[in-house]
């Protein structure tokens, strides 16, 4: 593959026959495709696409475009797509190599008499585990094809491995689901994975759980399933709304705690599958007995909260456009004269940054946490740790004992991050950092903890999970899998929402925005402007809700 500047333009891509009437089989990656992801039959897909084969007299460009469209259908091992290839190459082409998602504008350029290239503006790719990663903005990518004539008709003699889909088509036939694994404190942690939307989706999800967490989270979470566990019958059946999951005998040797973990993972991971309202766990056909309280347990839903602000020397909440003084902990926070405030998840204490550093504030006390220079606004995780980062990118976590723990984060050093936030469940850490001039990147790493939940390190590398246009300003998590970034573009600040394994979406702009905070949902996002105006999300826009605000607090 080669790169060329985006500015080069050729003819626009002919429209896909029908957006949403496309299915594909493979997921990309550097290693082999995992079992269960390489045999996705077209007949089982909810949405099908019936492509046309080559037409007599087609040009090289026609053949390329027809091949790309036909490769969206996996029916009979991509039989129609292989009709566009020379006989000797038809069996060699590997559609299972990857899924590359682009914007759909694919100009074609001839390269001599027997070669040509499609120019792609890639948006994202899906790897072998079903994990979506965005592709960095930049030069377009050339996908090169070579041609030969067969019986007087052009056919493809060499093509890039894998499949190309535009975003609209991809999201029409693939869907995002969360696989839940177990964190160090026993809390379930979600991973977004993409699967073909088809009748066998429950089986694919269970196979994903059995394969374990992705490589990016392998040191952060674990799976309750004993090694070697597989589906005894090869598939999950759903009867009267209940998913019947019959596993091999390895689960019979699992203790009660492990059995509980397996059940919780299965129940939560299948919760979003249409037609599944419950889970029955079996081992070689025999039902696995579970405690009644585990069977009836419900995953708590993140509660949204009203925004909290410092205004006129008082700290309180904003409800229906009115400021309500909190008193108690609010008075203690206000006395600290903070310029950044992060409430604990339960709201009972806070991490505040003042002129002398970061402190832990409770109703009756204020305890210094970090006095280093150049500290970013602190985070406060669900296990009681306050996270601080200095200008050099050195990361500290401080528990209730007051001991500063240096948390290794080599990817953060020298990043010039403007905001660093720990996710609400404490499993991930995100940093908003400058990228090229006038743009920013959200880097996300996993948080590694010991058996007691004490943070020891982050994952060695961080993935770029979102790019934003404009100068990076602020960042906050919405929930364990989504965050919102604020970036400045002229006199306005743009809001962009994304997350690990998700597409990014711009959500409008606010005049001179400087801070962003989430109350646990997209609807609870608030942005503070430089002149103290608090903006709330309303429909597709942003409306003023209160003036005279000095600091907009975050939670967690």
| CATH classification at residue 348 | 2.120.10.30
Four-CA torsion 315, 319, 324, 328, nearest 10 degrees: -60
Write out the residue range of the structural domain in which residue 367 sits.
Answer: 308-555
Q: What is the pLDDT along the chain (556 residues), one digit of tens a residue?
A: 433 333 222 222 222 223 233 333 333 333 333 333 344 333 345 566 788 999 999 999 999 999 998 987 878 888 999 999 999 999 999 887 778 999 999 999 999 999 999 999 999 998 878 889 999 988 899 999 999 999 999 999 999 988 898 998 889 888 999 999 999 888 899 999 998 887 889 999 999 999 999 988 999 999 999 999 999 989 999 999 999 999 999 998 888 888 999 999 999 999 999 999 999 999 999 888 876 666 443 434 345 578 999 999 999 999 988 999 998 999 999 999 999 999 999 889 999 999 999 999 999 999 999 999 999 999 999 999 999 999 999 999 999 999 999 999 999 999 999 999 999 999 999 999 999 878 999 999 999 999 899 999 999 999 999 999 999 999 999 999 999 999 998 899 999 999 999 999 999 999 999 999 987 677 789 999 999 999 998 877 899 999 999 999 999 8
Q: Do 230 and 264 fall within a single domain? A: yes
User: What is the tally of structural domains in the chain?
Assistant: 3
| Contacts of 125 by beta carbon, 8 Å cutoff, 6+ apart | 28, 98, 99, 100, 101, 132, 133, 135
**What pLDDT, on the 0 to 100 scale, is given for residue 549?**
96
- Specify if 303 maps to a domain: no
Contact 502, 170 (CB under 8 A): no
Which of 295, 316, 351 finishes a domain?
295
| Contacts of 277 by beta carbon, 8 Å cutoff, 6+ apart | 241, 242
Q: Do 328 and 274 fall within a single domain? A: no
- Specify if 460 maps to a domain: yes
Q: Do 14 and 160 fall within a single domain? A: yes
- Specify if 116 maps to a domain: yes
**What pLDDT, on the 0 to 100 scale, is given for residue 2?**
38
Q: Burial level of 121, CB count in 10 A (0-12/13-18/19+)?
A: middle
d(CA 169, CA 104): 9
- Specify if 300 maps to a domain: no
Q: Do 193 and 330 fall within a single domain? A: no
Q: Do 338 and 440 fall within a single domain? A: yes
**Distance of CA 226 to CAs 209, 223, 249, 521, Å?**
11, 8, 10, 35
Residue 440, SS3?
Answer: strand
**What pLDDT, on the 0 to 100 scale, is given for residue 47?**
60
Q: How many other CB atoms are found less than 10 A from the CB of residue 451? A: 7
Q: Do 160 and 50 fall within a single domain? A: yes
Q: Do 140 and 221 fall within a single domain? A: no
The widest CA-to-CA distance across the chain, in whole angstroms, is 88
- Specify if 301 maps to a domain: no
Q: Do 320 and 201 fall within a single domain? A: no
Q: Do 15 and 105 fall within a single domain? A: yes
Q: Which of 205, 203, 253, 209 is nearest to 233 (CA)?
A: 203
| Contacts of 394 by beta carbon, 8 Å cutoff, 6+ apart | 372, 406, 413
**Distance of CA 79 to CAs 91, 152, 554, Å?**
10, 21, 54
Contact 360, 351 (CB under 8 A): yes
- Backbone dihedral region for residue 524 (phi beyond 0: left; psi -120 to 50: alpha; all else: beta): alpha
**What pLDDT, on the 0 to 100 scale, is given for residue 292?**
63
Which stretches of 21-149 are DSSP H helices? Answer: 60-70, 75-82, 87-90
**Distance of CA 76 to CAs 7, 80, 363, Å?**
39, 8, 67
d(CA 43, CA 386): 52
- Specify if 364 maps to a domain: yes
**What pLDDT, on the 0 to 100 scale, is given for residue 520?**
67
- Quick one: CA dihedral 303, 189, 278, 202, positive or negative? positive
d(CA 199, CA 411): 41
How much of the chain is in helix, strand and coil states, percent to nearest 5? 15, 40, 45
Q: Burial level of 30, CB count in 10 A (0-12/13-18/19+)?
A: exposed
Q: Which of 273, 267, 317, 324 is nearest to 296 (CA)?
A: 267
d(CA 462, CA 186): 24
- Specify if 359 maps to a domain: yes
d(CA 148, CA 146): 7
Query: Please, which residues bridge with residue 326 across strands?
Result: none
Which of 118, 148, 172 finishes a domain?
172
Residue 502, SS3?
Answer: coil
Q: Between helices 75-82 and 60-70, what is the axis angle to 10°?
A: 180
Residue 159, SS3?
Answer: coil
Q: Do 370 and 285 fall within a single domain? A: no
340-343 and 554-555 strand pairing: parallel
CA 450 centroid distance within chain = 24
Q: Which of 243, 336, 339 is nearest to 553 (CA)?
A: 339
Q: Do 441 and 486 fall within a single domain? A: yes
d(CA 82, CA 87): 8
Contact 532, 550 (CB under 8 A): yes
CA 121-123-129 angle, 5° bins:
135
d(CA 132, CA 481): 13
What are the backbone dihedrals phi and psi of residue 207, each rounded to the nearest 5 degrees, phi first? -60, -35
Q: Do 164 and 126 fall within a single domain? A: yes
Contact 302, 552 (CB under 8 A): no
d(CA 259, CA 281): 9
**Which H or E element spans position 204?**
helix 201-211
- Specify if 65 maps to a domain: yes
Q: Burial level of 512, CB count in 10 A (0-12/13-18/19+)?
A: middle
Which of 146, 172, 198 finishes a domain?
172
| Contacts of 289 by beta carbon, 8 Å cutoff, 6+ apart | none
What are the backbone dihedrals phi and psi of residue 210, each rounded to the nearest 5 degrees, phi first? -65, -30
């Amino acid at each position: 593959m080669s790169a060329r500047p985006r500015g080069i333009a050729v003819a626009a891509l002919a429209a896909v026959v029908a957006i949403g009437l496309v299915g594909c089989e493979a997921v990309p990656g550097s290693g082999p495709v995992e079992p269960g992801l390489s045999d996705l039959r077209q007949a089982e897909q909810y949405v099908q696409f019936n492509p046309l084969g080559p037409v007599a007299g087609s040009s090289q460009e026609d053949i390329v475009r027809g091949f790309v469209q036909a490769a969206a259908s996996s029916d009979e091992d991509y039989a129609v797509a292989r009709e566009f290839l020379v006989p000797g190459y038809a069996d060699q082409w590997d559609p299972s190599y990857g899924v590359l998602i682009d914007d759909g504008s694919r100009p074609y350029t001839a390269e001599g008499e027997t070669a040509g290239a499609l120019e792609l503006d890639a948006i994202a790719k899906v790897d072998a585990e079903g994990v979506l990663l965005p592709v960095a903005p930049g030069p377009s990518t050339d996908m090169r094809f070579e041609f030969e004539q067969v019986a007087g008709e052009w056919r493809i003699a060499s093509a890039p491995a894998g499949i190309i889909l535009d975003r609209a088509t991809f999201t029409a036939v693939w869907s995002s689901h969360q696989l839940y694994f177990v964190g160090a404190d026993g809390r379930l942690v979600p991973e977004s994975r993409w699967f073909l939307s088809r009748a066998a989706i429950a089986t694919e999800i269970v196979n994903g759980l059995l394969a374990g967490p992705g490589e990016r989270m392998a040191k952060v979470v674990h799976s309750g399933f004993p090694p070697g566990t597989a589906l005894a019958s090869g598939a999950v059946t759903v009867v009267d709304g209940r998913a019947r999951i019959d596993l091999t005998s390895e689960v019979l040797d699992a203790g009660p705690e492990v059995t509980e973990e397996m059940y919780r993972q299965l129940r939560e991971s299948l919760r979003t599958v249409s037609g599944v309202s419950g889970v029955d766990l079996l081992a070689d056909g025999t039902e696995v007995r579970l405690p009644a309280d585990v069977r009836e347990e419900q995953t708590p839903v993140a509660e949204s909260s009203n925004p909290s602000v410092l205004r006129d020397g008082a700290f309180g909440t904003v409800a229906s456009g009115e400021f309500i003084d909190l008193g108690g902990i609010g008075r203690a926070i206000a006395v600290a004269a903070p310029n950044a405030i992060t409430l604990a998840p339960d709201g009972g204490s806070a991490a505040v940054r003042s002129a002398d550093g970061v402190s832990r504030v409770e109703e009756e006390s204020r305890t210094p946490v970090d006095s280093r220079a150049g500290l970013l606004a602190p985070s406060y995780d669900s296990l009681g740790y306050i996270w601080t980062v200095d200008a050099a990118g050195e990361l500290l976590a401080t528990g209730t004992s007051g001991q500063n723990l240096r948390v290794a984060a080599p990817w953060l050093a020298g990043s010039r991050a403007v905001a660093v936030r720990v996710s609400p469940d404490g499993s991930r850490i995100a940093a908003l950092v400058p990228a090229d001039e006038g743009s920013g990147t959200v880097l996300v790493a996993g948080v590694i903890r010991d058996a007691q939940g004490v943070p020891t390190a982050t994952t060695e590398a961080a993935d770029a999970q979102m790019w934003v246009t404009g100068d990076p300003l602020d960042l906050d998590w919405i929930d364990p899998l989504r965050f919102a970034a604020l970036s400045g573009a002229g006199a306005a600040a743009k809001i962009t929402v994304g997350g690990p394994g998700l597409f990014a979406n711009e959500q409008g702009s606010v005049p001179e925005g400087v801070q962003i905070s989430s109350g646990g949902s997209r609807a609870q996002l608030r942005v503070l402007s430089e002149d103290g105006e608090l903006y709330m999300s309303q429909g597709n826009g942003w409306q003023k809700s209160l003036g005279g605000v000095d600091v907009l607090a975050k939670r967690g």
